[in-house]
Structure 1
Amino acid sequence: MSKEYVLRCVLMLCFALLSANASNWLYLAKLSSVGSIRDEETCERLRGLIQRQVQICKRSVEVMDAVRRGAQLAIDECQFQFRNRRWNCSTLESMPVFGKVVTQGTREAAFVYAISAASVAFAVTRACSSGELEKCGCDHNVHGVSPEGFQWSGCSDNIAYGVAFSQSFVDVRERSKGQSSSRALMNLHNNEAGRKAILSHMRVECKCHGVSGSCEVKTCWKAMPPFRKVGNVIKEKFDGATEVEQRKVGSTKVLVPRNSQFKPHTDEDLVYLDPSPDFCDYDPRTPGMLGTVGRQCNRTSKAIDGCELMCCGRGFQTQEVEVVDRCSCKFHWCCYVKCKQCRKMVEMHTCR
């Protein structure tokens, strides 16, 4: 085995490790706030950032609290979308926050990268529209009268700025190391698919003006969809993700479906390289692989949240627990609702 071959393998391994940890910036969600950053030295102390991201932080200190909120938004949405699945986006106190689950080229990693890139674009755009950031504001390119006859007015979300910042901050690790590895290509593709989940679902919101609520004049603006809608779209893409492999087409390396019978994926689809583990058992050697022992399941469901699938055939135990809920609610004029607290016993099923 030649020294050149060994060196090339070491370099490929190092790049794979660097690429696999590209989501370390999500550790910003563990901070209570980064809004107090006043100088460049603070950027140096933020955990989870590579040097290029530190440089971006120094140039755009005022944006970093929006990035922190984006990181938390990504984690929250991941945990909502996967709440009934074996892997439920549980986080660790270390990096990467989802553990080694995202260091493999699985469809779970594809979702994490897509939702993370989308969340930064979303949070930064929202900060622009709210007037929080001096570098950006509303999208002033949206003005005049539309072909439909309404007047563009109000504050259209400056999604172009949010997407551009997400591309520069989130994609920087893959781009700084080149785009030749299959994992880098996978990450960059899924990052862009996440941002397109916002771009493809921008909506028009309007307000009517006129006597007695008539709509003689209507002013409208462009707004992002709710982030839950973005999460739903990316989750649908997760369910239909395409398994791919790297091939060389001319002088360019691209990802193509591993099964030639499948149609090529689009820019809005998620792609993955490796099959997912079953996530059934706790593996101390793989942080984030927590297994499903103790997870709550639905005894009557035949889906993945059902006890048979969630518990991986190990069976489940049932116990009665007391829950407190609001009941006998009455509306009182004006203007509040008063409820009683009711206690009841319910069955809870957990995996063995």
Structure 2
Amino acid sequence: MPTVSAVNLTAQLLLLLLWATHPTMATNWLSLARMPRSRPVSGAAPCGRLRGLSVGQVGVCRARGEVMESVRKAAEMVIEECQHQFRNRRWNCSTTPRGVNVFGRVMNQGTREAAFVHALSSAAVAVAVTRGCSRGELERCGCDRKVRGVSPEGFQWSGCSDNLSYGVAFSQTFVDETERAKGMSAGRPLMNVHNHEAGRKAILHNMQVECKCHGVSGSCELRTCWKVMPPFRRVGAVLKERFDGATEVRLSRIGSRTALLPRDPQVKPPAARDLVYLAVSPDFCRLDPDNGIPGTVGRRCNGTSRLAPDGCELVCCGPGYRAGRAEMVQRCSCKFSWCCSVRCQQCKNTVMIHTCRE
């Protein structure tokens, strides 16, 4: 008859296996981006049928259904921005053709790439929900009216400042829910929540001020200003920089709690805005359908660059690429026509292109 400790160990191993293999253990709410826009994503019945949501996220959906359309928009933002930021990298945020694992099993590993997507995802939810507040699309929130008075620079705070506090709070509730359900004593949940917070801080630390001048004949005797979020493209660029400088960490015990510390003791502990990762990334060179990695065969690359990330030797994982000529049609000889249009001719140019080969 097995001992109590043996039974507990077996239960723990089964739970760890479930975390590693269950499809809703990653950021699979991103699969909302694949739903047709005509299909509702709120209400008790639709929430229960949404694929990719954890049990807790279904509960959030049922309690705050009006926000879920913003969550769907956030999922679309993540995929679009990730593919823009990594368009010249070996892993270019390629998506799987179906299923809830939008980025394949790449997200089930504690790599830099997973760190970036988790950070971008939490930021996207905060941005999309905040936009909904500012546009009057959500009943429970609106503009941030707490920013009032005269600033040290001499302008008057007024207007409709973005209510980022509401968007950040919802992001913490919805995006972090899956990790909190696992327990915050394991490496992956700690890593993911740290990167979620880094994503939100990328917005907070890049807020912008917009102003309007008031006065006779357009003079700026008085300026009224309000706070706005940075463009999401800026948020993606900031997180891409954090990706390049991400810190490899390991799970450590400090007293009665667990924490993530740099694997290299010579490296300073990561700040709250830094990305962290636990596992070394695969090379992404070869086709790996099981993990959703398409490989780099057939990818365009920069044949004139050796050290840049888009250079053929890096993208193609060595000297395996071919050069060829292709004809491209471009606009040329553009002239301004009064009033008010620009007319161009269509010119054909032959250009050299480089692609990865097997």
CA contact (8 A) 1:34 1:68 kept: no
Alignment counterpart, residue 138 of structure 2, candidates 115, 133, 138: 133
**Deviation (angstroms), 1:44:** 1.1
- Which residue matches 1:296? 300
Which amino acid in 2 is paired with 1:165?
F
- Which residue matches 2:255? 250
Which amino acid in 1 is paired with 2:173?
S
SS of the counterpart of 1:328? strand
Residue by residue over 1:6-28, the C-alpha shift from the partner in whole angstroms, topping out at 9 and shown as x without a partner, is 22222222234459832000000
TM-score of the pair, normalised by structure 1: 0.96
Cα RMSD of the aligned pairs, angstroms, is: 1.6
- Which residue matches 2:235? 230
**Deviation (angstroms), 1:38:** 5.9
- Which residue matches 2:25? 21
For 1:39 and 1:266, the matched residues in 2 are separated by: 39
For 1:50 and 1:333, the matched residues in 2 are separated by: 58
Residue by residue over 1:156-198, the C-alpha shift from the partner in whole angstroms, topping out at 9 and shown as x without a partner, is 0000000001110100001122111100000000000000000
SS of the counterpart of 1:279? coil
CA contact (8 A) 2:111 2:281 kept: yes
SS of the counterpart of 2:288? coil
- Aligned pairs (5 A) from 1:1-352: 2-18=6-22, 21-33=25-37, 36-37=40-41, 39-92=43-96, 93-286=98-291, 288-302=292-306, 303-352=308-357
| Percentage identity across paired residues of the two chains | 60
For 1:141 and 1:164, the matched residues in 2 are separated by: 16
**Deviation (angstroms), 1:91:** 0.6
Residue by residue over 1:94-119, the C-alpha shift from the partner in whole angstroms, topping out at 9 and shown as x without a partner, is 22100011110000000000001000
**Deviation (angstroms), 1:54:** 1.1
Count of matched residue positions in the alignment of Structure 1 and Structure 2: 351
CA contact (8 A) 2:111 2:278 kept: yes
For 1:274 and 1:332, the matched residues in 2 are separated by: 58
Which amino acid in 2 is paired with 1:211?
V
CA contact (8 A) 1:26 1:48 kept: yes
SS of the counterpart of 1:294? coil
**Deviation (angstroms), 1:331:** 1.3
For 1:325 and 1:94, the matched residues in 2 are separated by: 38
Residue by residue over 1:183-224, the C-alpha shift from the partner in whole angstroms, topping out at 9 and shown as x without a partner, is 000000000000000001111111111112211010000000
Residue by residue over 1:251-299, the C-alpha shift from the partner in whole angstroms, topping out at 9 and shown as x without a partner, is 111100010000110000000000111111012332x211100000110
**Deviation (angstroms), 1:29:** 0.6
CA contact (8 A) 1:320 1:346 kept: yes
Deviates more, 1:167-176 or 1:312-321: 312-321
**Deviation (angstroms), 1:149:** 2.0
TM-score of the pair, normalised by structure 2: 0.94
Deviates more, 1:267-276 or 1:332-341: 332-341
For 1:35 and 1:267, the matched residues in 2 are separated by: 38
For 1:133 and 1:89, the matched residues in 2 are separated by: 31
